[in-house]
Amino acid sequence: MTMKRLLAASAVTAVAGLAASASQAQDLTLCWAAWDPANALVELSKDFEAQSGITMNFEFVPWPNFADRMLNELNSGGQLCDLLIGDSQWIGGGAENGHYIKLNDFFDANAISMDDFAPATVYAYSTWPKGTPNYYALPAMGDANGWFYRKDWFARPEIQEAFKAEYGRDLAEPKTQRELMEIAKFFQGREIDGQTVYGASIFTERGSEGITMGATGALYAWGFKYENTPGSYDMEGAVNSPAAVEALEFYKELYQCCTPPGYDNAYMEQSLDAFKSGQVAMAMNWFAFFPGLYADPNTGGDKIDFFVNPGQNVEASTLGGQGISVVSYSDNVDGALEYIKWFAQPDVQAKWWSMGGYSCHRSVLEDPDFVNSAPFAGDFLEAMAGVQDFWQEPAYAELLLAMQERLHNYIVADQGTAQEALDGLIADWTETFEDEGKL
C-alpha cells in the first residue's frame, strides 16, 4: 500500500468528547525519541515549568519504534502529543497532511527570526516545500552521523610503528573514506591487551532506517544525489551513477572486512555497545551520543576522540536531527506555542547546548568559545556545514523502506550487485512517485 493510500485509509476524524479541564489545559505533552538528549530536555524544561506554570509531560519512544509509533499517532489525529520533535524527513508529510501547524504568523508576531538559526538546519528541519519560507517547525536538535575512535590505541608506539610499516603513513584520524577502511582493516582481528578487536562498528540494521543512514555516509561522500535536478524526480544517472555504485561497493566491503562477528542488524545501540565494550577501534554514530561517550568512565575521557565523516569526492555527512513542531490536534495549542517561544530564546539555547542538546541557534554556534566548549564541538560545526538528508517527501516512509530492503539485501545478504541494487531502487521510487502523481 502506498503512503498516499495509507494516509487516506487512516483519514483524520473529528474528535468529540468532554472539554479538557482547566488543570489539563495547563499540561503539555512533548513527544520525542528515547535517548540522551531527551533526558537533557526534561531537565531544561523545568525552567519553562517554573516560568509558565505549565506542567510538562514527556512521551519518549525507543528509536526502532519511534517512527511507527509517532506516524501512526499523527495519521490517526491522536491527541497524545502537543509538541513533537519529529525527524527531518517527516516535515513534508507533517505539512501536507495537516499534522503540523504552520508557524510563520506566530514567528512574525513574536519576533522569532529563522535568520537566527543555522541555514542548513532551517532548510532541513523547518521548511516545506524545501527552501521556501514556509515554516512548520523550529530547529531543535542539530545532528549528523559522525565517528569516534580509541585515541589511546592509536597513540601506542607499537601500533603506530606497525601501521606505518604496513601503509607508509602515520596512524591518524582518516581524511578519506579509503583511509578509514585502511585503518579498519589494520585493526581487524588484532590483539590488544589480550583481547581480539575489530575495525569498526557501522550501521547495518534493516527494520527502521539504520543501513540507509550508515550507507549514505559513504554515498554522499562519493557525490551521490537523489535527483539530477532538485525537484525534478529525475533519478536515472544520479541514484545509480558510477560514483554511487563505487560508494555502495565500498560500504559493503567495509561491512565484510572490518566489523565484529554477527554484526548484520546493528544500529545506534549496537554501535555504542561495541565501542564501550572495547571491541572496536572506530565506530559511527550520531553526534547526539558524543557527550555521553566522552563521559563514559571506561572508554571516554582521554581514551576517545572524534572525527567528521571523511570525504572522498566531496565533504559530506548524513543529516540527523529534528525540529520541534506544534501538533495541530493538540487541545493546548497556545501552551505549545508558548513553549516554542521560550525554547527559541538565545539564553535557553545556550543552556540546551551546555546540558547535552545540540543547539541550532547561531548565537551559540558562532560564539568564539563554542569550538572549545566540547572536544567534538568543532567537528559538529564542520559536519553541519556539509549535511545531506534523505527524501523529505510525504511518502518518505515508503521510500525509506525500499532503500532499506535494497541496501540490506546487497550489503548484508550478499544478493546481486551494487548496480542492480541502485537500479532496483530507482524502479521502486519511480513507482512511489507515480502513485503520488509526481511523475
User: What's the grid cell of residue 427?
Assistant: 524502479
For residue 57, pLDDT over 50 is answered with yes
> Is 79 a domain residue?
yes
For residues 155 and 55, membership in a common domain is answered with no
Cβ atoms of residues 353 and 359 within 8 Å = yes
Mean pLDDT of the region 136-152: 98
Residue 400 lies in a domain: no
Query: Do 338 and 296 fall within a single domain?
Result: no
Residue 14 has pLDDT above 80, yes or no: no
270 and 164 together in one domain: yes
Question: Within this chain, do residues 245 and 183 fall inside the same structural domain, yes or no?
Answer: yes
Which residues make Cβ contacts (< 8 Å) with residue 364, sequence separation at least 6?
A: 346, 349, 350, 352, 353, 370
For 350-376, write each residue's pLDDT tens digit.
Answer: 999 999 999 999 999 999 999 999 999
Residue-wise pLDDT tens digits, 46-55: 999 999 999 9
Q: How far apart are CA 278 and CA 298, in angstroms?
A: 9
Mean pLDDT for all residues in the chain: 94
Bridge partners of 55, per DSSP, are 27
What band does 9 get if pLDDT is binned at 50, 70 and 90? Answer: very low
Q: Is residue 408 part of a domain?
A: no
Same domain, 269 and 368: no
Q: Is residue 302 a part of any domain in this protein?
A: yes
On whether both 135 and 165 belong to a single domain, the answer is: no
- Residue 165, pLDDT score: 98
Model pTM? 0.93
Q: Report d(CA 130, CA 140) in Å as an integer.
A: 17
d(CA 406, CA 216): 13
Instruction: Show the domain range for 179.
Output: 145-318
> Domain boundary residue among 271, 290, 318?
318
Q: Looking at the structure, do residues 92 and 124 belong to the same domain, yes or no?
A: yes
Residue 322: φ, ψ to 5° = -150, 160
Calpha distance 312→316 (Å, rounded): 9
Tell whether 116 and 36 lie within a shared domain.
yes
Whether 281 is covered by a domain: the verdict is: yes
Q: In CATH, what number is assigned to the domain containing residue 119?
A: 3.40.190.10
Band of the pLDDT at 23, cuts 50, 70, 90?
very low
Per residue in 260-319, pLDDT (tens digit) is 999 999 999 999 999 999 999 999 999 999 999 999 999 999 999 999 999 999 999 999
Q: How many CA atoms lie within 13 A of 117 on its CB side?
A: 27
Decide if 395 is inside a domain: no
124 and 41 in a common domain: yes
Task: Report the domain count for the chain.
Answer: 2
Asked whether residue 298 falls in the same domain as residue 324, the answer is no
Q: What is the pLDDT of residues 172-206, one digit of tens each?
A: 999 999 999 999 999 999 999 999 999 999 999 99
Residue 6: is its pLDDT beyond 60? no
Last residue of a domain, one of 373, 388, 403: 388
Q: pLDDT tens across 326-352, in order?
A: 999 999 999 999 999 999 999 999 999
Which H or E run contains 104?
helix 104-109
CA-closest candidate to residue 187, choices 215, 154, 155: 154
- Classify strands 304-307 and 145-150 as parallel, antiparallel or unpaired: antiparallel
Looking at residue 26, what is its pLDDT?
A: 80
Q: Which of 266, 239, 157 is nearest to 428 (CA)?
A: 239
Domain boundary pick from 286, 318, 350: 318
Q: Tell whether 10 is covered by a domain.
A: no
Neighbours of 298 (CB within 10 A): 9
Decide: helix, strand or coil at residue 135: strand
Residue 43: CB atoms within 10 Å: 12
HSE-CB of 133 using CA atoms within 13 angstroms: 7
Q: Are residues 308 and 347 in the same domain?
A: no
Rounded Cα gap, residues 319 and 308, in angstroms: 12
End-to-end CA distance of the chain: 18
Within a domain: 75: yes
**Which amino acid, one-letter code, is at 287?**
F
> Are residues 44 and 178 located together in one domain of the fold?
no
Q: Mean pLDDT across the stretch 29-47?
A: 97
Which DSSP string corresponds to 21-90?
PHHHHTEEEEEEESSHHHHHHHHHHHHHHHHH-PEEEEEEE-HHHHHHHHHHHHHTT--S-SEEEEEGGG
